[in-house]
């Protein structure tokens, strides 16, 4: 346990956090683009490299996944204006600017943001093995990796991952398709349908009583016992992180196509649901590289699992858990049910991130119904956290102070707000229907 009283004196917002009251933490360490990168080792080039690797694999992905055919093996989601949702959010908040939905909920193969990092890391590992063992060269058509002999080669290797669900789906589905053995270590809060789906694809699912942190720990231990096993480490993986970051290059192009300006007079706000921090962190790293000071990025976490907020606000990062603050980590947002944040994401976000909102579970379901009713789009509860950022930016005093501090108040009519819908497309219809009636 931490000395909670001491932390509240130092960081007043911690009082709301331990009381489980929805709130916002504004990052006092955020820096301008000129200074923000001084202590960050990764560069824009790392993102371009990841993008190139994904392009090399595009022909192979079309071999295995029908839903990537139309885009020639490039996995990307639509950016959609959600005009009909706007008035529903404006019922309770004085929102200004234009509202968009980044629909990672509908990404091919995995139906969540994990289709970015997760698939990328499996491909990264497959390429490394394939190059080291001369199955291909960098110049070859990678669809060769789908032939019998190469699949046989991959079948001697195992990929393992610990997950609350969606990362497991992404890694499990992709690894099995390429011919790897794959073991997914799942926390007790992982949904039954996700385990069923994985098993149907040929993945081995191991279940644990504990939370996400325990599943990851067990996965790491089991994988270390086998020299032919590779562990995808959601808490520490730079490879995952770079896979997520590629999103920024893609959305820049989409914004240009939609005539969405991002400049000094046209600020763009992004709101991304956060669990262990890898996916929102990777995307944010990319967005800040691409848009600099014109991008204002906020994470959103459940009031019962504000792990990244506590890690960043205290500066203790992965040395602290929500349980250390008497918070149980239990939430309906299974993708965000994480007690301890990533080891390295918090330190990279330190100078880049604008802040973190927290949301109550019941609000996730209210946003979900509003989106379904107005736009006919279904996303999972975790993903709905994004809307809380849009709404509360215009409501909380400390958020308004942020807008003031960065001289944004008179630019809000020209602003764009992008809610990052992180998952939903693989949720079975019956489960989605139950969600739509939860917390009514």
Does an H or E element contain 81, and which?
strand 79-81
The answer to whether 307 touches 244, Cβ cutoff 8 Å, is no
The answer to whether 358 touches 23, Cβ cutoff 8 Å, is yes
- Cβ 117 to ligand PLP, closest distance in Å? 7
User: Packing angle between helix 381-393 and helix 361-375, nearest 10 degrees?
Assistant: 90
Residue with smaller CB distance to ligand PLP, 391 or 419: 419
Q: Which of 9, 21, 10, 25 has its CA nearest to residue 312?
A: 25
Task: Give the separation between CA 25 and CA 358, rounded to whole angstroms.
Answer: 9
Tell me the window of 62-70, 129-137, 354-362, 376-384 that interacts with ligand PLP (CB under 6 A): 376-384
Number of residues that bind ligand PLP (CB under 6 A): 19
Task: Give the separation between CA 104 and CA 101, rounded to whole angstroms.
Answer: 9
Among 423, 425, 426, 435, binds ligand PLP (CB under 6 A): 423
Task: Give the separation between CA 213 and CA 215, rounded to whole angstroms.
Answer: 6
The answer to whether 199 touches 205, Cβ cutoff 8 Å, is yes
CB atoms within 10 A of CB 411: 17
- Report the length, in residues, of the chain: 440
Residues 336-355 that bind ligand PLP (CB under 6 A): 336
- End-to-end CA gap in the chain: 35
Q: Does 279 bind ligand PLP (CB under 6 A)?
A: yes
Q: What is the DSSP string of 225-275?
A: T-TTEEEE-TTT-HHHHHHHHHHHHHHHHHHHHTT---BTTB-EEEEEE-S
Tell me the window of 5-13, 61-69, 110-118, 128-136 that interacts with ligand PLP (CB under 6 A): 110-118
Among 160, 382, 415, 425, binds ligand PLP (CB under 6 A): 382
Tell me the window of 108-116, 178-186, 190-198, 389-397 that interacts with ligand PLP (CB under 6 A): 108-116
- Cβ 409 to ligand PLP, closest distance in Å? 30
Tell me the window of 67-75, 176-184, 195-203, 378-386 that interacts with ligand PLP (CB under 6 A): 378-386
Q: Does 383 bind ligand PLP (CB under 6 A)?
A: yes
Question: 138 — phi, psi (to 5°)?
Answer: -60, -25
Among 13, 82, 260, 276, binds ligand PLP (CB under 6 A): 276
Tell me the window of 40-48, 216-224, 276-284, 349-357 that interacts with ligand PLP (CB under 6 A): 276-284
Among 26, 274, 359, 364, binds ligand PLP (CB under 6 A): 274
- Cβ 299 to ligand PLP, closest distance in Å? 8
307-326 footprint of ligand PLP as x/- string (CB under 6 A): --------------------
Task: Give the separation between CA 395 and CA 397, rounded to whole angstroms.
Answer: 6
Residue with smaller CB distance to ligand PLP, 98 or 112: 112
116-155 footprint of ligand PLP as x/- string (CB under 6 A): ----------------------------------------
Tokens 């949301």 belong to which residue? 359
Q: Which residue is nearest to ligand PLP (CB)?
A: 275
Task: Give the separation between CA 326 and CA 324, rounded to whole angstroms.
Answer: 6
3-state secondary structure (DSSP) of residue 339 = coil
Among 73, 97, 118, 280, binds ligand PLP (CB under 6 A): 280
Tell me the window of 109-117, 181-189, 199-207, 432-440 that interacts with ligand PLP (CB under 6 A): 109-117
Interacting residues with ligand PLP (CB under 6 A): 112-114, 166, 273-280, 335-336, 380, 382-383, 422-423
């Amino acid at each position: 346990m931490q000395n909670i009283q001491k932390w509240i004196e130092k960081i007043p917002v911690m009082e709301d956090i331990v009381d489980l009251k929805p709130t916002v933490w504004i990052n006092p360490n955020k820096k301008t683009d000129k200074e923000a990168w001084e202590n960050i080792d990764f560069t824009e080039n790392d993102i371009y490299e990841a993008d190139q690797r994904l392009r090399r694999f595009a022909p192979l992905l079309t071999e295995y996944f029908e839903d990537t055919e139309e885009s020639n093996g490039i996995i990307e989601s639509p950016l959609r204006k959600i005009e009909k949702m706007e008035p529903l959010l404006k019922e309770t908040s004085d929102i200004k600017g234009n509202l968009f939905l980044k629909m990672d909920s509908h990404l091919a193969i995995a139906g969540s943001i994990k289709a970015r990092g997760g698939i990328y890391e499996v491909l990264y590992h497959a390429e490394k093995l394939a190059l080291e063992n001369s199955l291909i060269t960098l110049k070859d058509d990678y669809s060769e990796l789908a032939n019998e002999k190469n699949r046989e080669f991959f079948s001697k290797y195992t990929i393992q991952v610990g997950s609350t669900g969606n990362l497991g789906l992404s890694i499990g589905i992709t690894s099995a398709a390429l011919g790897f053995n794959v073991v997914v270590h799942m926390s007790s809060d992982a949904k039954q349908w996700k385990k069923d789906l994985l098993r149907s694809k040929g993945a081995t699912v191991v279940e644990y009583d504990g939370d996400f942190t325990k599943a990851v720990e067990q996965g790491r231990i089991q994988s270390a016992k086998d020299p032919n096993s590779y562990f995808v480490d959601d808490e520490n993986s730079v490879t995952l992180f770079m896979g997520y970051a590629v999103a920024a290059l893609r959305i820049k192009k989409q914004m240009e196509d939609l005539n969405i300006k991002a400049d000094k007079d046209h600020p763009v706000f992004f709101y991304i649901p956060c669990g262990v921090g890898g996916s929102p962190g990777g995307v944010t790293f990319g967005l800040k590289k691409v848009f600099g000071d014109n991008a204002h990025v906020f994470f959103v976490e459940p009031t019962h699992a504000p792990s990244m907020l506590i890690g960043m606000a205290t500066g203790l990062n992965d040395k602290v858990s929500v349980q250390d603050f008497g918070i149980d980590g239990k939430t309906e947002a299974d993708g965000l049910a994480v007690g301890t944040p990533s080891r390295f994401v918090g330190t990279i976000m330190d100078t880049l991130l604008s802040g973190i909102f927290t949301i109550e579970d019941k609000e996730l379901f209210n946003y979900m119904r509003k989106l379904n009713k107005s736009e006919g789009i279904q996303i999972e509860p975790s993903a709905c956290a994004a809307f809380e950022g849009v709404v509360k930016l215009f409501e909380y005093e400390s958020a308004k102070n942020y807008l003031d501090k960065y001289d944004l108040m008179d630019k809000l009519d020209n602003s764009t707000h992008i809610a990052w819908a992180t998952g939903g497309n693989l949720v079975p219809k019956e489960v989605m229907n139950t969600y739509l009636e939860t917390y009514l």
